[in-house]
Amino acid sequence: MNKIVKECVDYIRSITDFTPRAALILGSGLGAFTQEIDHVVCTIPYKNIPGFPVSTVSGHNGRFIMGYIDDIPVVCMDGRVHYYEGYTPQEVVLPIRVMRALGAEFLFITNAAGGIHSDYVPGTLVLVRDHISLFVPNPLQGPNDQRIGTRFPDMTDVYDPHLRSLIQRAAEYEDIPLETGVYCQLSGPSYESPAEIQVLKVIGADMVGMSTVMEAIAAKHAGMKISCISLITNMAAGISATPLSHEEVKVAGLQAEPVFKRLLRAAIQTVKEYKW
């Protein structure tokens, strides 16, 4: 374990011996999912963890919540940090490495995204099937910690196909429409220009956001089974005529909250059916 990860884990282990099976990242405006945790074992503010990055964005809390969803032990990130806040790519992915080191095998990522695909209206839920990371630095740059993962990890199936098919089935069972698409991370914090969105469309992106891909690369490197669900909060720049705002993103998050909560709960339960 690298030194910074170890310091974080040592601090957390001084508080709890809880071993999560699944890790969960709650995106912009989706923090209310923490109410779905049936039995909270402990809450740890990021600011208390030595060397841990703390979010500066409104709508993002900053704490780990550990507990059970049904009987699945989960560590939930209530708030995450973004590259645009000025953190290095390695700092952005530190929480992933910490949750992995605590024992999490699965990673469920959620995010808010702008819809590029013409079918995606605000409120659409999309299961990510692949990503485009070409516009942000790779978080694995620098010395490789062979104990975490290999120097040149494969990125063919970052969003685990078996987990995806279980989640699709769970969504059908819950009668929740769930699209499948490709997510592209840009650095932000400015939203894209309409011309940039046209470029992303041509290269195969269905949606765009300012998070997730760095974390997914680090999690894949560390051998986690990953899935990601995006909530389309707005149509991307130029796809609709209205200018974008963070307020709009937060409002759409709030409106979709009940259905998103239900989907996420169902998605997490697929861990029980997962066949290794």
| Smallest separation (angstroms) from ligand HPA to the CB of 107 | 20
Tell me which residue has its CB nearest to ligand HPA: 114
* Closer residue to ligand HPA in complex, CB, 161/194: 194
| Smallest separation (angstroms) from ligand HPA to the CB of 195 | 14
* Closer residue to ligand HPA in complex, CB, 91/248: 248
With b for 16 or more beta-carbon neighbours within 10 A and e for fewer, the 149-162 pattern comes to: beeebeeeebbbee
Annotated catalytic residue 192: no
| Smallest separation (angstroms) from ligand HPA to the CB of 65 | 23
Annotated catalytic residue 48: no
Annotated catalytic residue 60: yes
With b for 16 or more beta-carbon neighbours within 10 A and e for fewer, the 174-211 pattern comes to: eeeebbebbbbbbebeebbeeebbeebbeeebbbbbbb
* Closer residue to ligand HPA in complex, CB, 30/163: 30
Query: What does residue 221 show for φ and ψ, rounded to 5 degrees?
Result: -55, -40
* Concatenated DSSP letters of 159-188: B-HHHHHHHHHHHHHHT---EEEEEEE---
Indicate the pairing of strand 63-69 with strand 39-45: antiparallel
Q: Which of 22, 23, 55, 85 is catalytic?
A: 85
Q: Which residues bind ligand HPA (CB under 6 A)?
A: 112-114, 191-192, 208-210, 233-234, 236, 244, 249
- Compute and round to an integer the Cα radius of gyration of the chain: 17
Annotated catalytic residue 211: yes
Annotated catalytic residue 39: no
Annotated catalytic residue 85: yes
Annotated catalytic residue 28: yes
| Smallest separation (angstroms) from ligand HPA to the CB of 136 | 12
* Closer residue to ligand HPA in complex, CB, 89/114: 114
Q: Which of 46, 55, 82, 83 is catalytic?
A: 82
Closest among 98, 54, 97 to 79, alpha carbons compared: 54
| Smallest separation (angstroms) from ligand HPA to the CB of 29 | 10
Region for 55 from its dihedrals, namely left if φ exceeds 0, alpha if ψ lies in -120 to 50, beta otherwise:
beta
Closest among 108, 83, 104 to 93, alpha carbons compared: 83
* Closer residue to ligand HPA in complex, CB, 21/82: 82
Indicate the pairing of strand 63-69 with strand 72-78: antiparallel
Residues tagged active-site = 28, 60, 82, 84-85, 112, 210-211, 234, 246
